[in-house]
Chains A and B, each alone.
Chain A
Amino acid sequence: MGVALRGAGPILETRGATARFGAFTAVDGASYRLEEGETAGIIGPNGAGKSTFFNLITGLVLPAAGSIHLAGADVTRLPPHRRVKSGLVRTFQLVSVFDALPVLDNLTLAVIHADPSLASGPGFLLGSSRRGGLEEAGVAALDRVGLSAKANWLTSELSYGDKRKLEIGIALALRPRVLLLDEPFAGLSDHEIAEVLRLVKAIQGSLSMVIIEHKISHLLDMVSRLSVMHEGKIIAEGKPATVLEDPTVRRVYWGGGQGRGLVEARGTRKAEA
């Protein structure tokens, strides 16, 4: 194929990615492309395989078939931590921060990776996690998501919304080129949703992003492309408005009992009646 020029190909691509758990196929031959700088959305009923698809991309689940490519490089067999080093960063559906650590330490662990110069010297790992450069970088990352006042709280004391902001702060501290957000608005209050939306919109364009969401309303004005997953397959893809009019998509959502959310989000209840 020759040398792919930067920006020439998709920043993220899966080809026929398949995940199996025993006899059950959770993701079934998913082929997907994300262009550099794009913000794309994935929707689909519960159990459609969306989170497993992210696990395939990040390497937490190994594919039974297919391949994963990051900036043109095949990363199918790369362990998860190496993919992070290539700029692939994600958040989890159930917010994933470290409850047993102080808030700031969550960030320091991320910063270590992002700035290898902080990690120099043989005694580094046995040294305190609160040394100058490390602590400063952690506080700066915390500031970005408006949590620096709670730096010394124990993470378990944060509200769910604050934990979500912290998780996003961690993700940003890792300096992602591709950021995968798995239902970042789920379980948040309206006020918290607005805050997280603001965070996400602020970084839009400066990196490539895929957002899984259940309530499509949050995605509509943000994503340029929407993909629909159903029973492990990507069944529709395109501009949000077009995808939502797709008869198959409508049937899936009505069949899965998820139709109301979709329709309300679109404000086209009349059309359905």
Chain B
Amino acid sequence: MISVVAYGLTVGAILYIISIGLSLTFGTMRIVNFAHALIYTMGAYVLFTMLRVTGGNFVLAAIVGVAAAVPLAWAIERFVIRRLYGQSIDYAIIGTYAVLLIGVDATKWIWGATPLPLSDPIGKYVNVLGVDLPVYRLVVIALAVLIFAGLELFFRRTVVGKIVVAGLEDKDAVRSLGIRVDSYFSLVFILGSCLAALGGILYAPITTIHPYMGTHVLLLSFAVVLVGGLGSMRGTLVASFALGMVMAVTGRVWGPAAEAMVFAVMAVVLVLKPIEV
């Protein structure tokens, strides 16, 4: 029971860290960004390489992995997404999907297609109500909560945050205040991408690193964004943990159905609460 809850919370935490960027990108730029999955995957691979370079310093390797997302996200935003502004949403899907495919092949070319295992960077366990839980997973859950709190502060207190919140509501109205809203959206895009990389980094030691890891997670992440509400920061948090728990509980009953259940829940939510775009 405890381990199911802990697993659900861990998956929820990872889903949150990945999905928040996806949701914000959709909310601000109205773009469905498949390249998000690439950044997630790259984060894990850069972590892998940096662990070798630094002789196993996980924190340092993770920081480099997150930082590596900045130029990559910048390039994707500048050279692909910016050209798709105002076009049909289909173009954005095709364009960013192309980036993902190219990226996945580049990953295979650089690191090979064989899955790369990583060991638990902490390797300690803590006993909670008679069950041994990996400390690492608790750290991941705590990080997700910290990130949520940090983003709340950022969007509720800072000038930039408020510009973005206003832009989520009405881009043209923000422009009409003399504010170049697109630069702030680019900033949010890069921030969201860094979080995607962090998601890949944090999840890597729990599963394995492989070129399609991002593509796989992206579908779950879409489910989170749709259930949580496009561009809703709190909705994304709630949906992440709820769907994480759905996965954990279903997985305990019958493993193969775990992910299918996520999409079943998504379908039900969409029927009850259709999205307006």
Contacts and interface: CB of A to CB of B under 8 A. Distances in A.
A98 B178 contact: no
B176 A100 contact: no
Interface stretch (B165-173, B237-245, B251-259): B165-173
B170 A81 contact: no
A164 B139 CA distance: 48
A1 interface: no
Nearest to B160: A125
Q: Considering residues A79, A80, A106, which has the most beta carbons from chain B within 10 angstroms of its beta carbon?
A: A80
B177 A170 contact: yes
A118 to B, nearest CB: 10
A140 interface: no
Contact of B176 (A58, A99, A106, A134): A58
Contacts of B176: 58, 60, 80, 84, 89-90, 92, 96
Chain B interface main SS type: helix
Contact of A113 (B157, B170, B177): B177
Interface residues of B, number: 21
A60 B170 CA distance: 12
A113 B178 contact: yes
B264 interface: no
Contacts of A124: 159
Contacts of B57: none
Interface string A79-103: 1111011000110100011111100
A2 interface: no
Contact of B157 (A92, A129, A174): A129
A99 B169 contact: yes
Contact of A112 (B159, B172, B173): B159
* Shortest Cβ-Cβ A-B pairs, 6 listed: A84-B178, A113-B178, A80-B175, A96-B173, A98-B166, A125-B160
